[in-house]
Structure 1
């Protein structure tokens, strides 16, 4: 099941989503309007998702921790000119995928480890 989040609710939703899913492993899949798809090779543990507005421009900033090395590194991704935010749910009702669409109609899908089987 998928749920589209209204723009007026993005900030609160992302703040609450971030708190609920902190430390869950996640990786990006990117779907370009050209049909090209890219899957991120590395997973990261979610640290924080925030929203930033500058005039009519909206950014979503996602911070994840890479814990595969001795020294933890922070990976920060900024999605510019956000036009849509949606969430997909697992069959158990847990949040499985955060979808963010930008002005170029690129869909950035942040897939979380499953609470059912551990896969991401």
Structure 2
């Protein structure tokens, strides 16, 4: 649990980007905050805790460009979003290799300089 609390203290960017299910191409909702280790997703579906999904999202990469990024994300929590029909869900990104981590950290470092 310490590791989760420690990550929660990392800088998060309040960036709204649409998130897609990589397999179906369907929109899952949008990010409410984002960093190299995870995101909060606001969407119409309540996710099962610990479920892993493959997602795609477009991350700003310069002034007018975006980079399509595909990641595996694991749901850590999911709860109703105030008095709306939507849900807030916290996801942790699951990386397969050290290269994946370095790539995403570099991408987010550049992104954090823009915001």
TM-score (norm 1): 0.34
Greater fraction strand: 1
* Higher fraction of helix: 2
Higher RCO, 1 or 2 (CA under 8 Å, sep at least 6)? 1
